[in-house]
């Protein structure tokens, strides 16, 4: 790792036209705009098409188990909280397999940026319904249509006391890049749900479908990103109108600020415990 600027790969395994390309470009623009170096950035992911993102960025990367990206990212951030840590996770990876990790990562308010690639389908494994699929959505494994209610990442984040809750759209990369930059600058856990159409497995929620519906919430009269109740109302909007932008933002001490041992700097830069100290701790705990 040279420590120079952030680069992205020219070749990927994503389908032509995949919404992930917009996320990749928007993220690069945000990181470049903040002047971050590759050595100071860590991208963490689980399993899925979204999880391939760290493979295509010239920065530190950590790919773990399905649904466990936030657990790995939390450990990495606490070991070295000087790192800028971004998590790339699909809506299935995050809200199905990783649902429990998501709720508690939000609640703890660790200083991470969680980018949820939301295409309402499992793209890597050939198109099963995701937790975010709309009722009635027909797939190979749900031939009569989805019968469960749609999971809403933004209302879940707000209910778990999230401090930065936003939504972007890959059809507007400049806007999305600005959201990613704001999320990184925010001290605490930042959630960005990105509407990222799957051109191969979801022919309902397409780029055109979203473009007809999305609007920038910051342009709405009377918008107050400090009003949690109003943010809930906006997060529940879905169908004919879908808001994008920062729905809610709150300043609150992040997890790292409240852990005494981290006040001495990142754990990776602190002196290692001497063997006799470790032995004394083990004896005390046992």
pLDDT per residue over 238-266, tens digit each?
Answer: 999 999 999 999 999 999 999 888 888 88
Question: Which DSSP state fits 146?
Answer: -
Could you please state the CATH topology (level 3) that the domain comprising 20-285 is classified under: Rossmann fold (3.40.50)
pLDDT bracket for residue 197 (50, 70, 90): very high
pLDDT tens, residue by residue, 20-43: 999 999 999 999 999 999 999 999
pTM metric for this prediction: 0.91
Indicate the helix (H) or strand (E) that contains 173. helix 173-185
Q: Give yes or no for a contact between 105 and 67, defined as CB atoms under 8 angstroms apart.
A: no
> Of how many residues is the chain composed?
286
Which residue has 């890959």 as its token pair?
Answer: 170
Which residue has 């100071």 as its token pair?
Answer: 40
Using the predicted structure, report yes or no on whether residue 3 has a pLDDT greater than 60. Answer: no
Written as six digits, the tokens of 169 are 């759209």
Burial tier of 200 (Cβ tally within 10 Å: 0-12, 13-18, 19+): middle
Residues 6+ apart with CB under 8 A from 215: 241, 242, 243, 244
Q: Report CA-CA distances (Å) from 17 to 140, 170, 199, 279, 283.
A: 22, 11, 7, 57, 58
């Amino acid at each position: 790792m040279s420590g120079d600027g952030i680069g992205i790969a020219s070749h990927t395994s994503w389908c032509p036209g995949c919404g992930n390309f917009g996320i990749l470009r928007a993220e690069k623009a945000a990181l470049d705009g903040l002047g971050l170096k590759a050595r100071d950035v860590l991208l963490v992911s689980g399993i899925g098409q979204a999880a391939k993102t760290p493979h295509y960025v010239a920065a530190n990367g950590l790919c773990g188990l399905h649904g466990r990206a936030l657990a790995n990212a939390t450990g990495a951030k606490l070991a070295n909280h000087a790192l800028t840590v971004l998590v790339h996770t699909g809506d299935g990876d995050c809200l199905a397999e990783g649902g429990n990790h998501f709720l508690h990562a939000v609640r703890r308010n660790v200083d991470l940026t969680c980018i949820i690639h939301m295409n309402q389908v499992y793209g890597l494994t050939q198109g099963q319904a995701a937790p975010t699929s709309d009722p009635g959505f027909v797939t190979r494994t749900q031939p009569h249509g989805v019968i469960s209610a749609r999971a809403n990442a933004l209302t879940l984040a707000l209910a778990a006391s999230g401090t930065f809750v936003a939504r972007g759209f890959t059809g507007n990369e400049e806007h999305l890049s600005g959201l990613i930059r704001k999320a990184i600058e925010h001290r605490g856990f930042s959630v960005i749900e990105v509407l990222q159409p799957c051109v191969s497995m979801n022919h309902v929620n397409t780029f055109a479908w979203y473009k007809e519906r999305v609007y920038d919430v910051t342009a709405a009269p009377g918008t107050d990103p400090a009003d949690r109740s109003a943010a809930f109302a906006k997060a529940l909007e879905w169908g004919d109108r879908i808001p994008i932008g920062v729905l809610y933002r709150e300043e609150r001490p992040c997890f790292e600020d409240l852990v005494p041992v981290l006040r001495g700097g990142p754990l990776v830069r602190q002196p290692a415990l001497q063997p006799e100290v470790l032995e004394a701790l083990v004896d005390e705990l046992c």
